C-alpha cells in the first residue's frame, strides 16, 4: 500500500493576532506545497525522511519520540502528533518533500500536518472529509503549539482565499484573486506561541488601549473583504498598511520586518505588512505592477518569494 497526499502553504492577508480574540481574518492558500508519501516498512522500524528538508529519523510512533539520523527537522513534532492520533504503530516509511521554505511564515507546519493526516487516512482506509480533516489538523497544531487558531489548517485543507468570521464561520471568496504578491523573510524565525502570549500580556496590562486596537483590526479586515470582492487593489494596499501599523502597536514588529515592509513600499508595493505571528518571520507585499522591483529590493538583504493564491487545497490518493 502506498498513500500520497499534499497540501498548500498559506499566507495571512489580514487579521493575524486579532483572530485569536475572535475577530475575523482573511488568509489564502499559495502555490507552494508539502507532499507526504507513506508505505509499509520492510523492516520493523518506522522511518521519516526528507531529501528537501535534509533529515532522516527513526520514529517511535507510540511514545511520540524519535531518534535523529541526520538533519534537524522543526516540523517532526507535528508529524509525531498526527501519527499518534491516527496510526496503528505498524512500521512505515514516510517521505516528506516540500517547496515551502521553513521560516518563511507560510505555515509549513499546517501544510505538513494536513498532508500527513490525509496520507494516513488514505493508508488506513479511514473515511474523512475536508471538515473533519481541518478539525483534526487544528487539534494537532493545538497539541503541539498550545495556542493556535484554526486559520492555517483550514486554509491548507480547503485551499483558496478564505474569510473566517467572528463566529468562526468559513466563507470562500468566489472572486478570481490572482494578484501577484511578494513574501520577504529573514533568517530569524518567529516563535508563534511566544508572540501570541506576549500580545496577551500587553493586552492584560493595557486593556483600554489594546482592546480598541484589536477591534479596529477586525473592522479593517471586514473592509478588506469588501475591497477584495471589488478587486480594489488600492484599498487593499491601504488596509494592509494600516494592519501593519496595528501589528506594530501590538509589539510583534522587528527591525528586520520593518526594513522589508518599507523597502517593499519604496520599490512600488501598494501595501505591505507583517504576515503571521511576527517577532521574526515574514512580510507580504501587494505589488501588481512592481513584483520584480519589490523582489529585487528585498533580496538585497533578505530572502524573497513571489507567490500567488491558489484554489487547490489538500489532495490525496492511494
Which residues make up the interface to ligand MEV (CB under 6 A)?
12, 16-17, 19-20, 148-149, 151-152, 192, 196, 276-277
Measured from the CB of residue 31, what is the shortest distance to ligand MEV in angstroms? 19
Rounded distance between C-alpha atoms, residue 200 and residue 228, angstroms = 30
152 is catalytic: yes
Rounded distance between C-alpha atoms, residue 88 and residue 70, angstroms = 25
Rounded distance between C-alpha atoms, residue 91 and residue 42, angstroms = 8
Measured from the CB of residue 217, what is the shortest distance to ligand MEV in angstroms? 10
C-alpha cell at 58: 527513526
Taking the least distance from each CB to ligand MEV, the nearer of 159 and 276 is 276
Taking the least distance from each CB to ligand MEV, the nearer of 16 and 302 is 16
Measured from the CB of residue 27, what is the shortest distance to ligand MEV in angstroms? 8
Rounded distance between C-alpha atoms, residue 296 and residue 212, angstroms = 37
Taking the least distance from each CB to ligand MEV, the nearer of 100 and 148 is 148
Cα–Cα distances in angstroms (integers) from residue 41 to residues 1, 77, 281, 312, in the given order:
10, 21, 36, 30
Taking the least distance from each CB to ligand MEV, the nearer of 149 and 156 is 149
Residue nearest to ligand MEV (CB): 149
Measured from the CB of residue 265, what is the shortest distance to ligand MEV in angstroms? 22
Taking the least distance from each CB to ligand MEV, the nearer of 85 and 200 is 200
Task: List the catalytic residue out of 152, 232, 248, 302.
Answer: 152
Rounded distance between C-alpha atoms, residue 127 and residue 47, angstroms = 25
Measured from the CB of residue 195, what is the shortest distance to ligand MEV in angstroms? 6
Catalytic residue annotation: 152
Amino acid at each position: 500500500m502506498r498513500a500520497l497526499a499534499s497540501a498548500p502553504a498559506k499566507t495571512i492577508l489580514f487579521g493575524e493576532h486579532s483572530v485569536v480574540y475572535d475577530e475575523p481574518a482573511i488568509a489564502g492558500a499559495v502555490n507552494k506545497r508539502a507532499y507526504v508519501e507513506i508505505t509499509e516498512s520492510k523492516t520493523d522500524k518506522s522511518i521519516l525522511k526528507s531529501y528537501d528538508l535534509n533529515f532522516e529519523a527513526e520514529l517511535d510512533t507510540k511514545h511520540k519520540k524519535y531518534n535523529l539520523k541526520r538533519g534537524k527537522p522543526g516540523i517532526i513534532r507535528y508529524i509525531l502528533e498526527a501519527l499518534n492520533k491516527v496510526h496503528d504503530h505498524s512500521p512505515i516509511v514516510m517521505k516528506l518533500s516540500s517547496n515551502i521554505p521553513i521560516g518563511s511564515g507560510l505555515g509549513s507546519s499546517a501544510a505538513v500536518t494536513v498532508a500527513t493526516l490525509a496520507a494516513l487516512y488514505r493508508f488506513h482506509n479511514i473515511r474523512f472529509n475536508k471538515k473533519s480533516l481541518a478539525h483534526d489538523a487544528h487539534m494537532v497544531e493545538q497539541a503541539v503549539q498550545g495556542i493556535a487558531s484554526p486559520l492555517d489548517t483550514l486554509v491548507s485543507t480547503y485551499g483558496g482565499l478564505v474569510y473566517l468570521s467572528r463566529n468562526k464561520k468559513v466563507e470562500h471568496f468566489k472572486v478570481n484573486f490572482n494578484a501577484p504578491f511578494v513574501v520577504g523573510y529573514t533568517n530569524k524565525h518567529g516563535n508563534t506561541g511566544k508572540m501570541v502570549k506576549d500580545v496577551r500580556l500587553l493586552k492584560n496590562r493595557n486593556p483600554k488601549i489594546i482592546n480598541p486596537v484589536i477591534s479596529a483590526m477586525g473592522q479593517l479586515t471586514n473592509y478588506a473583504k469588501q475591497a477584495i470582492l471589488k478587486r480594489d487593489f488600492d484599498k487593499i494596499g491601504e488596509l494592509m498598511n494600516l494592519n501593519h501599523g496595528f501589528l506594530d502597536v501590538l509589539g510583534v514588529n522587528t527591525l528586520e520586518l520593518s526594513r522589508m515592509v518599507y523597502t517593499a513600499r519604496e520599490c512600488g508595493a501598494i501595501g505591505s505588512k507583517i504576515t503571521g505571528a511576527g517577532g521574526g518571520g515574514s512580510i507580504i507585499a501587494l505589488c501588481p505592477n512592481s513584483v520584480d522591483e519589490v523582489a529585487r529590493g528585498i533580496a538585497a538583504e533578505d530572502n524573497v518569494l513571489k507567490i500567488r493564491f491558489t484554489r487547490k487545497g489538500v489532495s490525496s490518493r492511494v
